[in-house]
Amino acid sequence: MKNRLKVCRAENNLSQADLADRIGVSRQTINSIETSRYVPSTILALKLAHVFQKPVEALFELDETD
């Protein structure tokens, strides 16, 4: 699964730590999602989409491996 978190963070001028605080997870969780070390839960995806005011599909996209 691809993600656009890093770009969205840049657009909103948020650090990984900022974003983590906003949605109540650790900084490493954000980093791990960004670097595709693991796939977030749907709750996290919805929270991230809410922060960036975009649909989940604008943040996460299935790829061939999924």
Partner DNA sequence: TGCAATGGTAAAGTAAATTTTACATATAGT
Partner DNA sequence: ACTATATGTAAAATTTACTTTACCATTGCA
- Tokens for 28, please give them: 């490493």
Specify whether the CB–CB gap between 63 and 2 falls below 8 A.
yes
**What does the DSSP 8-state code read for residue 36?**
T
List the interface residues with DNA, window 47-66 (CB under 7 A): none
| Whole-angstrom Cα Rg for the chain | 11
Tell me the closest approach of the beta carbon of residue 60 to DNA, in angstroms.
12
Residues that bind DNA (CB under 7 A): 6, 9, 15-18, 24-29, 31-35, 37-41, 43-44
Using CB under 8 A, list all residues that contact a copy of itself.
Answer: 1, 39-47, 49-50, 55-57, 60-62, 66
